[in-house]
Structure 1
Amino acid sequence: MKKYLSVLLLFCTVAACRLDLQAQAVPKNANERLVLDFYNLAFNAHKPAEAAQRYIGATYIQHNPLVPNGSAPFVNYFAAFFQTHPTAALDMVRVISEGDLVVVHSKFTTGPQDRGQAIIDIFRVADGKIVEHWDVIQPIPEQSANGNTMFAGNNAH
């Protein structure tokens, strides 16, 4: 009986860890749904122009120092990017919101051999549109000094 319980406990622990690693962002409100729909259309369906038209407001303030304000720079950059990286994909791991701000923690890869980047995007939503954006982008290292991944954790979903 003890052996059976030990095996069951081990299985449940492994299954829980596996589920934790596969956690996906689940929207809890309209702003989160809007941002996740924008992400899917822009980065997974590779339709940045349609995503911008549907989800970005007339005024779009950009805080990434490499990108100008407005939706056109976003569209132009990613339209060209997806032509040269047709297998690029974004895996949204968690979404957090407070008031008009939505934060998405994601993994972005250009293809199966790419280790990818860990990205934290912060969006401000007003009147049902994305109107402001901040981001922090970090390459995913081959090894971690602490043994933790950049995505799994107790609150991965």
Structure 2
Amino acid sequence: MTKKYIAKDFLKLAAKGHSHEAFRLYIGKDFKHHNVYFKGDANTLMLAMDESFRLNPNKTLEIHHAIGDKDMVAVHSHIKQNTTDSGVAVVHIFKFESDKIVELWDLGQAVPAEMINENGMF
């Protein structure tokens, strides 16, 4: 199982409402999360993912790219909260120790209704 596979599976499980399983399988000891809107521990993030799924059971995650380099993996994806949502382009950056995720950064940009750039976000 590669680090890219683990990162993508972690995101897929969380998006489908299986964050407890994702954390049990893939999160390492002393995990740190770097999102300014949440405390930086694993339990806070897991509960936030649970709540997000409860509020948005039709959420979709479409992974466009996964790039790995040594102990780091970056995943570029399109997340929609529901079928009418234009969504958010998100980059998750995972740091690994062995096969466990020990740090996670997530950066997002809303998909605008009109884009100047002809290449789009994906």
Equivalent residue number for residue 131 of structure 1? 102
1:39 paired with 2:17, answer: no
Q: 2:40 aligns with which of 69, 77, 82?
A: 69
Question: Which residues in structure 2 correspond to 1:81-120 (within 5 Å)?
Answer: 81-120=52-91
Question: Which residues in structure 2 correspond to 1:44-63 (within 5 Å)?
Answer: 45-63=16-34
Q: Percent identity?
A: 30
Q: For structure 1, which runs of at least 5 residues remain unmatched after alignment? A: 1-28, 152-157
SS at match of 1:39: helix
Cα deviation code 1:63-88 (max 9, x no counterpart): 11112122101111111111111101
**1:148 offset after TM fit, Å?**
1.9
With the length of structure 1 as denominator, give the TM-score of the two structures: 0.74
User: Larger % of helix: which?
Assistant: 1
Assess if the C-alpha contact under 8 Å between 1:48 and 1:74 holds in 2. no
1:30 paired with 2:18, answer: no
For the aligned residue pairs, the C-alpha RMSD in angstroms reads 1.2
Q: For structure 2, which runs of at least 5 residues remain unmatched after alignment? A: none
Assess if the C-alpha contact under 8 Å between 1:64 and 1:134 holds in 2. yes
Cα deviation code 1:13-32 (max 9, x no counterpart): xxxxxxxxxxxxxxxx7110
The amino acid across from 1:85 in the alignment is N
Q: 1:79 aligns with which of 26, 43, 50?
A: 50
Q: How many residues align?
A: 122
**1:42 offset after TM fit, Å?**
1.2
Query: Partners in 1 of 2:90 and 2:51 — Cα distance?
Result: 20
Query: Partners in 2 of 1:75 and 1:61 — Cα distance?
Result: 12
Query: Partners in 1 of 2:117 and 2:25 — Cα distance?
Result: 41
